[in-house]
Amino acid sequence: MNTNHQVISKSLDNRLNIWNTVAGTGSVGSTSVTLNTPRGVFVDKNLNLYVADAFNNRIQKFPPGQVSGITIAGSGATGTISLSVPGGVMLDADGYLFIVDGWNHRIIGSGPNGFRCIAACSGGGSTSTQLSFPLTLSFDSYGNIYVADQYNHRIQKFLLAINSCGNKQITEDRCLQRCLEVSMQVIRQINDLWEPLQRLAPLFNLNAKADFLVGIKCLETAIYGACKRIEIFSLSLLKNTDNNNDNESQTKKSSSSYQEEANMYFQKAQKSIQIILNIAESRIE
């Protein structure tokens, strides 16, 4: 209800037509309890409410049961980013924030180093890399971002790069989903998994330095023969693409050394490997 400057909710478990105000007072304002033309909203798994408070140029966070919001991005928040009429807000599985910065014609994302522009960063326009007064956004399970590009009368699709770690040295606490980049090679060849089989395929690379050969086993098939559930049953290092050291001892590692290195990465990346596996499963389905 952007014209009433509030956010309301209704329980789907209750047949009665009862609506509750969860944010805003009904009067325009810029305090912690008021809103000015709210647009996009998002509720995370902890029931925190995020509101794109458009004409206050900010993103407000309301903890469960609280009517006083916390400014987490935009006007009034220190160390974030300037926004102009944000229209949409979402969080990903890692808790990072994504914002449709409407009148700046761009998409903003947060990360370990703060906020940055992640799509349409060259200003408003109608090319494939630009937006014009975008309204809202949504993700699919593959990591693509879909944006309602209002004044261009179209829906734009942007592929979000998963690997944002660069070539920095890997550590256990950095080895999360954003340090891994899924290879499209497995996902494109869905027919390869149409029988209960075991096969080896390059599934992902770690920090753009280590390519792995992953054994995939089909555990369950659908009625029509497609593989519904898969698991990783083996892992080995396929090659090393780090060209910073060209000496002979580096280029002539034994297979056992590769395996030891792969096992080390595997242990540190256990959580990330499962995330990648879940992505692969969702694409097969």
Residue 63's domain comprises: 5-158
Domain check: are 106 and 236 in the same one? no
Burial (CB < 10 A; 0-12, 13-18, 19+), residue 13, is: exposed
Tell me whether residue 134 is in a domain: yes
Tell me whether residue 166 is in a domain: no
Domain check: are 76 and 197 in the same one? no
Q: Report the 10 Å Cβ neighbour count for 228.
A: 14
Q: Is the CB of residue 90 less than 8 Å from the CB of residue 55?
A: no
Domain check: are 100 and 214 in the same one? no
Tell me whether residue 165 is in a domain: no
Residue 40 is part of a domain; what is its CATH number?
Answer: 2.120.10.30
Residue 242, C-beta contacts closer than 8 angstroms, at least 6 positions apart: 167, 209
pLDDT tens sequence for the chain (285 residues): 667 899 998 877 777 788 889 999 999 999 999 999 999 999 998 999 999 999 999 999 999 999 999 999 999 998 889 999 999 999 987 888 999 999 999 999 998 888 999 889 999 999 988 999 999 998 877 778 889 999 999 999 887 554 343 433 333 333 333 333 333 233 323 333 333 333 334 444 444 344 555 555 566 655 544 555 555 555 554 444 444 444 444 444 444 554 565 555 555 555 555 555 555 555 444
**3-state class of 140 per DSSP?**
coil
Looking at residue 235, its amino acid is L
Domain check: are 260 and 181 in the same one? yes
Tell me whether residue 206 is in a domain: yes
Domain check: are 179 and 153 in the same one? no
Q: In the block, which residue shows the tokens 């993103």?
A: 59
Domain count, the chain: 2
